[in-house]
Amino acid sequence: MSWMDTTAAKLQSLAASMYGGPMMFALPMLNFTPQQVAQVCETLEESGDIERLGRFLWSLPVNPTACEALNKNEAVLRARALVSFHTGNFRDLYHILENHRFTKESHAKLQAMWLEAHYQEAEKLRGRPLGPVDKYRVRKKFPLPRTIWDGEQKTHCFKERTRSLLREWYLQDPYPNPTKKRELAQGTGLTPTQVGNWFKNRRQRDRAAAAKNRLQHHQRLHSSSPVEGATSLYDDDDDDDDDIDMKDTSSITSSPPISPGGPETPPPAVLRLPASPHHVTTAH
């Protein structure tokens, strides 16, 4: 049985329970209660039939009592947001997401729609596809509304307490072994691959900063005027190093990259502190 047949069967079952027997499947003729409307919206949302979901929403009653109940139902609001997104009506999408507080179970899907809608608008404005830096700037310009996130950093970024722990360990050892990666993963809620990616990106950023400082030092030795723009190796004012993809993909490796000149070596300015890091507690 196809998903369309399954959807129709579920709606026919609802109609049968309401009218005491089977009836022809015609959405505009059904007079659902708010709870049944929510169930139909969820069924059509799961089926992926956005066109039928849109037709169903348009067929709903417009009397004030019914509208008030439907406007407070999360499944109905989520369905309206989904239809608005797929029809390119981003203004309505933003209005729904910004003016109704959703439960955590709906956050991931609604966050994805919010970001993708802003990406599409930016692409249309610029006349070209967005790169990773462009998308990062869009996310900074249009942060997620508090109605669809928990107040922590977005899913594209590590949460602050996670970054603090990773930075602490990085100062101790920028090359954690697999056992340490697993320990950090358990303590931060990440995967070992994500931990490895963070350390790899941080090492690359520090190597670039060290190379820039060496170049500026060389220029100062051969120039009477000071060179501006010196970079601190551990300058954490720029969080771009932490804005990495949180998805655990097999195409990203957590092992140190091998350069043509041989294995990767630690940046000379990285110091290993004598104090032992705080232990990461793990659930047993």
Predicted confidence (pLDDT) per residue in 112-142, tens digit = 999 999 999 999 999 999 888 888 899 999 9
Q: What is the pLDDT of residue 185?
A: 84
Q: What is the pLDDT of residue 278?
A: 45
Is 98 within a domain? yes
Instruction: Please tell me whether residues 13 and 99 are part of one structural domain.
Output: yes
Instruction: Please tell me whether residues 43 and 63 are part of one structural domain.
Output: yes
Instruction: Please tell me whether residues 36 and 122 are part of one structural domain.
Output: yes
Q: What is the pLDDT of residue 187?
A: 82
Q: What is the pLDDT of residue 152?
A: 62
Instruction: Please tell me whether residues 41 and 84 are part of one structural domain.
Output: yes
Q: What is the pLDDT of residue 100?
A: 94
Instruction: Please tell me whether residues 52 and 134 are part of one structural domain.
Output: yes
Question: Is 60:70 a contact under the CB 8 Å cutoff?
Answer: yes
Q: What is the pLDDT of residue 102?
A: 96
Instruction: Please tell me whether residues 133 and 230 are part of one structural domain.
Output: no
Is 275 within a domain? no
Instruction: Please tell me whether residues 109 and 185 are part of one structural domain.
Output: no
The CATH number for 75's domain is: 1.25.40
Instruction: Please tell me whether residues 134 and 174 are part of one structural domain.
Output: no
Is 153 within a domain? no
Residues of the chain below pLDDT 50: 1-8, 11-12, 15-29, 154-156, 226-284
Tens digit of each residue's pLDDT (9 = 90 or more) over 75-115: 999 999 999 999 999 999 999 999 999 999 999 899 999 99
Instruction: Please tell me whether residues 59 and 177 are part of one structural domain.
Output: no
Instruction: Please tell me whether residues 33 and 140 are part of one structural domain.
Output: yes
Is 10 within a domain? yes
H helices of the chain, where? 3-19, 34-47, 50-58, 64-70, 74-86, 90-99, 104-126, 132-141, 160-172, 178-188, 192-221
Is 276 within a domain? no
Q: What is the pLDDT of residue 86?
A: 95
Instruction: Please tell me whether residues 16 and 129 are part of one structural domain.
Output: yes
Name the nearest CA neighbour of 48 among 7, 15, 95, 104.
7
Instruction: Please tell me whether residues 105 and 176 are part of one structural domain.
Output: no
Q: What is the pLDDT of residue 96?
A: 96
Q: What is the pLDDT of residue 224?
A: 56
Is 251 within a domain? yes
- Count of all residues that appear for the chain in the document: 284
- Per-position b or e across 248-281, b if 16+ CB within 10 A of its CB: eeeeeebebeeeeeeebeebeebeeeeeeeeeee
Domain that holds residue 240: 160-263
The structure's pTM equals: 0.49
Residue 265 phi/psi, 5-degree rounding, is: -115, 150
What is the rounded radius of gyration, in angstroms, for the C-alpha atoms of the chain?
26
Is 39 within a domain? yes
State the total domains in the chain: 2
Q: What is the pLDDT of residue 182?
A: 87
